Structure 1
Amino acid sequence: MSLLLAALIFSVNSFSQDLKSQLEGITKKYKATVGLGLIHLEKGDTLALNNELQFPMQSVYKFPLGLAIMNLADKGELKLDQVYHVTKEDLLDETWSPLKKKFPDGNVDLTVAELLDYSVSKSDNIACDILFKLAKGTKPVNDYIRQIGITGMNIAATEHEMRAGWKIQYTNWSSPMQMTRLLEGLYQQKYLSEESNAFLMKLMIESSNDATRIKGLLPEGTIVAHKTGTSDTRGNITDACNDVGIIFLPDGTHVALTVFVNKSEESYDNTRKLIAELSELVYDFYTSK
């Protein structure tokens, strides 16, 4: 082995162990199982915590659903200006839906682009299930994700179907690094046309998703293209409090970061703080050099 190669391997290992130990130091302060995936999109650094586990995605899966819908648009099977008539029957009871709040009786025409905005940017569950309907179900979406090389992820249940039982949320799962690889592919424009890719990135950057997680402790004005996901709390256990996204660093580089928090016994605020602290550490690690 050459001295240069040995030095490079030592450098990579040193990076991984140093940052990994710091991240683990944060997770140990909280009563929760944390999955983390990190890729520096220019340097190629990678790091994972608990990557062997399958974490429930909850609404994070609206990001891969958005990719699948944009792929259908690229193939001409859907159009972004195509209109869907939202009926009263589409309006699920007792679910998160800014769409329903705005149109409580339905009877409104929305374009596919508007449905994507509701689903990805506003995490609307009703818009999400309409998009699954337009995609002809969860299976074609799951098949598409597998076809683009993301095998450590599964999409099996709609928002409505997840409401039928607590364990059903676990049928929509991902490993941390596979979700991070999906973010990497989005950034690298591997899956969609340039126009479609830009539209989906815009939805994730301008979203109203919870800004107290990945963005929570980052400097004001930091751009993050992200998607959150959250389960209900049963007893004192929250099965999913997640955020995945691409962080835009001041030097013009980017980090794709996935944080899945499973079975948290912490308060909702503390669980979100955990994600924010991990994100802040990653940000500081790359901006303090």
Structure 2
Amino acid sequence: MTKFLLWAIPILFSASLNAQQTANHSITRLRTEIEQLAQAAQGRVGVTATVLETGASVNLNGDQQFPMQSVYKLPIGMAVLQQVDQGKLALSQTVHVTPDEYISKRQHSPLRDKYPTGADVSVAELLRYAVSESDGSASDVLLRLLGGAKTVMASLKKLDITGIIVANTEKEIGSDNAVQYRNWATPTEVVALLRAVENGRNLSASSRTLLLHLLTETETGLHRLKGLLPAGTVVAHKTGTSWTIEGLTAATNDVGLITLPSGKHIAIAVFVSDSKADQVIRERVIAQIAQVVWNHWHSH
């Protein structure tokens, strides 16, 4: 028996090594494909995608900083739900919103458009506006309830996430084009945040369920991560978009959790920054990247 085991060890080691080499080669091909797709954006593209259950991962510029725009409403929403869990806020509590809290007309705010003279809105409804509808006014009101961006940063620190910076309100971001670059993230750290969402880290079961529901009901960016995936694919995601100024678009983003037919989850972050391409092309690049990632891990 001992002789057999000694004889078998090299064979087993060789088989394991060959399997690892095949996996590495496969990821290299996937990264090359992503890199080729990214060229159409005519800008800087950052991608990190990880199968949470296996740890298999691919990235392109995953550690570079990209302006988040409304992607930053995800960590804001998480911080609000953490305070709900701690009893500092309640989903049912009513918040008075005044017109002077509304962002500018050129920024996206269904809340402002529905209640131009102000309104009394529940925390739960503010979360829905901010996360599912990417409402900048609702996001700013939630930041006010939290006591400012420092509370969001403290929430991220508890998750050991250092590569996401929330520093300003939406109103401030809308007032100066340069401010958006101060509110940045790396794709790799956003994937870490998505892992925390999926695992329910620092969230109660009910808060995790609510957040995933709000992300799944996201009404923006339907031609991005979801654009080329099979019908019925569950995608819990958050978009972010800047204005186009003098032919340059600072941010076209989509990050989220994609559920594979196997039940496994791909956490993916795609950032397109400082792009000269039009919106159709920018969104198609994101959709194509999500598609090749989905195809790769579905087939594997």
Q: TM-score range by the shorter chain?
A: over 0.9
The equivalent of 2:4 in structure 1 is: none
TM-score (norm 1): 0.96
Check the 8 A contact 1:250/1:287 in 2, yes or no.
yes
For residue 104 of structure 1, what is the aligned residue in structure 2? 116
Give the CA deviation at 1:113. 0.6
Residue number in structure 2 paired with 1:154:
165
Cα deviation 1:135-186 (Å, max 9, x = unaligned): 0001111121122111111110110111232111011100111001110111
Cα displacement (A) at 1:11: 3.6
The equivalences for 1:258-273 within 5 A come to 258-273=269-284
Cα distance in 2, alignment partners of residues 92 and 287 from structure 1: 42
From 9, 20, 31, the counterpart of 1:9: 20
269-278 vs 19-28, greater mean Cα deviation: 19-28
Measure, in 2, the Cα distance between the counterparts of 1:8 and 1:189.
32
Greater Rg, structure 1 or structure 2?
Answer: 2
Is contact 2:52-2:267 (8 Å) kept?
yes
Which residue identity is paired with 2:263? Answer: G
Q: Is the 8 A contact 2:40 2:277 kept in 1?
A: no
The residue aligned with 2:5 is none
2:113 and 2:63 mapped to 1: Cα distance? 39
RMSD: 1.4
Task: Using the aligned pairs only, state the percent identity.
Answer: 39
Query: Could you tell me which residue of structure 2 aligns to residue 42 of structure 1?
Result: 53
Give 1:125's aligned residue. Answer: 136
Name 1:243's counterpart in structure 2: 254
Separation (CA, whole Å) in 1 of partners of 2:187 and 2:91: 30
Aligned counterparts, 1:1-289, within 5 A: 2-3=13-14, 5-94=16-105, 95-106=107-118, 108-289=119-300
Q: CA offset at residue 64 of structure 1?
A: 0.7
Structure 2 residue runs of 5 or longer lacking an equivalent are: 1-9
Moved more, 96-105 or 234-243: 96-105
1:16-39 CA-to-partner distances (Å, cap 9, x unmatched) read 212111111211233111000111
CA distance in structure 1 between the aligned counterparts of 2:177 and 2:296, rounded to whole angstroms: 38
User: Could you say which structure has the higher helix fraction?
Assistant: 2
Aligned partner of residue 225 in structure 1, secondary structure:
strand
Residue-pair matches, total: 288
AA aligned to 2:139 is C
SS in 2 for 1:266: coil
Residues 34, 262 of structure 1: 8 Å contact kept: yes
Q: 2:7 — aligned with what?
A: none
Shift, 1:8, TM fit: 4.7
